[in-house]
Amino acid sequence: MFLIYTPFTAEVIDIVKETPDIKTIRWKPLKNELHFKPGQFVEFSVFGIGESPFCISSSPTRSPLFECSIKRLGKVTTAAHKLSPGDIIGIRGPYGRCFPLEELKERNLIFVGGGIGMAPLRSLLQYVIDNRKDFGQITVIYGARTVADLCYKQEFLEWQKVPALSLILTVDPGGEDENWQGEIGFVPTVLEKVNPKPDKAKVITCGPTIMIKFTLATLTRLGFAPEDIITTLEMKMKCGVGKCGRCNIGRVYVCKDGPVFKYSEIKELPNEF
């Protein structure tokens, strides 16, 4: 009998420490096949402790290994940070709505990320890089509170070598160190400074709620249509299958109807965002 809450097993292959409180866990299913698209998430189990939903932060083009970037916040995430290569974990999924890949083709893409919010954007960015000919100009604006809080530092050089890709890094005022050569300022402020053009462009953004709120306002001032702004709302998700009711906003369940939403859809939701 199939049970929706029963995970399949996977082995931890490698762990990368991204920041003082974020680790990327690379894992491989032991028996099951996993097919997903950028923007989807899984339920990640540490046996004997519990499970939590995390986006898959790697691209399907780079399977059969999969990655979840996990910020240490509570019981499950703390246990996940104690895992080692060779440990067995549980995985349910994939769940949720992915990024609209066909709509993004031949468009100029602007990625706007903050902190751990770069995780779902990284999955899509890797996918776009691996299918580079299908997409237009790429602009990546990524920021965090401090230099130490930037994820995926080891990949920045790889991204900068991609044809027609511009990477702009920023840290909050006071978050720079003596070697910092990037921007200093909040992500929405740097976005306005970069001043991307809305013509033939799509924006994909994710980060802290306050960052997304001001990013959406900035993009509106810059002339981007709500239909061309895409974000991912992973707040409040728990069961992943719309049963617990924890993530509902009005008539919408973030885990089933999202977590990827266009700004035009978010504008129709009750004011909980």
pLDDT, one tens digit for every residue, the chain (273 residues): 457 788 999 999 999 999 999 999 999 999 888 999 999 999 999 999 999 999 999 999 998 999 999 999 999 999 999 999 999 999 999 999 999 999 999 999 999 999 999 999 999 999 999 999 999 999 999 999 999 999 999 999 999 999 999 999 999 999 999 999 999 999 999 999 999 999 999 999 999 999 999 999 999 999 999 999 999 987 778 888 888 888 888 889 999 999 999 999 999 988 755
Please give the CATH superfamily to which domain 8-95 belongs.
Translation factors (2.40.30.10)
The pTM assigned to this predicted structure is 0.95
Task: Give per-residue burial for 173-209: e unless 16+ CB within 10 Å, then b.
Answer: eebbeeeeebbebbbbbbbbebebebeebbbbbbbee
Q: Which position has the token pair 């070598």?
A: 161
The domain defined by 101-232 folds into Rossmann fold (3.40.50)
- CATH 3.40.50.80 segments of the chain: 101-232
**What pLDDT does 272 receive?**
59
Predicted confidence at residue 201, as pLDDT, reads 98
Both tokens of 206, joined, read: 């994710």
Alpha carbon distance 62, 123 (integer Å): 10
Quick one: pLDDT at residue 197?
A: 97
Q: Is 202 left (phi over 0), alpha (psi -120 to 50) or beta?
A: beta
Secondary structure (3-state) at 165: strand
Helix, strand, or coil (residue 201): strand
Q: What is the per-residue pLDDT for 35?
A: 94
- In the chain, CATH 2.40.30.10 covers 8-95
d(Cα 168, Cα 191) in Å, to the nearest integer?
Answer: 9
Q: What are phi and psi of 99, to 5 degrees?
A: -65, 145
